[in-house]
């Protein structure tokens, strides 16, 4: 596992946000930084965080396995998170999700065959007034009906084509 110098720098900056004797509190921030860098949390990252904060690897492991945002495995290049909860579902959230799955020929929770995306359902994204909503990586998209899902998918595909 190799972390970028920028990540190591941010890790060094965030640890003092907590009292020295409470270093364990930096577990979540460290895991976020590592996942942003590596794409997921491998075993070596768990050992690394534990050593860095002076806690046991199991203390980190139990955190990684509880919180839905932390992943033990790599995912597609882009992460498409479709809101599943009631307000979005009431106006077609399930269809939106199906549209993304169809566009990338994939199923929820899997990496698409072209490696470009992982589509997932997530719970309420706190934007229910502009339902259905979709979070693609860090960007929220509002009022995503099937047509908009298709347009967003096409953007991702076009971007992928320019890389090839």
Candidates 7, 35, 59, 87: give the one binding ligand FES (CB under 6 A).
87
Alpha-carbon distance values, 66 to 70, 72, 86 (Å): 8, 11, 23
Tell me the window of 1-9, 84-92, 103-111, 149-157 that interacts with other proteins (CB under 8 A). Answer: 84-92
Is 112 within 8 Å of 118 (Cβ atoms)? yes
The number of CA neighbours under 13 Å toward the Cβ of 44 is 5
CB of 92 to ligand FES, least distance (A): 11
Candidates 38, 131, 144, 156: give the one binding other proteins (CB under 8 A).
131
Q: Which residue lies nearer to other proteins by CB, 91 or 157?
A: 91
Q: CB neighbours of 36 closer than 8 A, spacing ≥ 6? A: 7
User: Which residues of the chain form beta strands (DSSP E)?
Assistant: 78-83, 117-122, 134-136, 139-141
The item of other proteins, ligand FES, none sharing an interface with residue 62, based on CB under 5 to 8 Å by kind, is other proteins
End-to-end CA distance of the chain: 27
The edge-to-edge listing of strands for the beta sheet with 78-83 is: 117-122, 78-83, 134-136, 139-141
Fill in the per-residue mask, 107 to 146: x = in contact with ligand FES (CB under 6 A), - = not in contact.
-----------------xxxxx--x-x-------------
Candidates 6, 51, 90, 151: give the one binding other proteins (CB under 8 A).
90
Q: What is the binding site for other proteins (CB under 8 A)?
A: 17, 19, 22, 24-29, 31-32, 53, 55, 59, 62-63, 66-70, 81, 84-87, 89-92, 94-95, 122-131, 135, 138-140
Query: Where on the chain is the footprint of ligand FES (CB under 6 A)?
Result: 83, 85-88, 124-128, 131, 133
């Amino acid at each position: 596992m190799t972390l970028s110098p920028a990540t190591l720098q941010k890790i060094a900056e965030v640890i003092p946000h907590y009292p020295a004797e409470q270093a364990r509190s930096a577990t979540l921030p460290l895991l976020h930084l590592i996942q942003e860098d590596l794409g997921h949390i491998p075993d070596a990252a768990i050992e690394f965080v534990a050593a860095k904060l002076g806690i046991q690897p199991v203390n980190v492991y139990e955190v990684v396995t509880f919180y839905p945002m932390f992943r033990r495995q790599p995912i597609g290049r882009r992460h498409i998170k479709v809101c599943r909860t009631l307000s979005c579902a009431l106006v077609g959230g399930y269809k939106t999700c199906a549209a993304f799955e169809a566009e990338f020929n994939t199923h929820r929770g899997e990496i698409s065959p072209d490696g470009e995306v992982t589509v997932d359902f997530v719970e309420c994204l706190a934007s229910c007034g502009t339902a259905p909503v979709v979070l693609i990586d860090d960007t929220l998209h509002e009022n995503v009906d099937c047509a908009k899902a298709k347009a967003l998918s096409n953007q991702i595909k076009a971007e992928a084509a320019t890389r090839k």
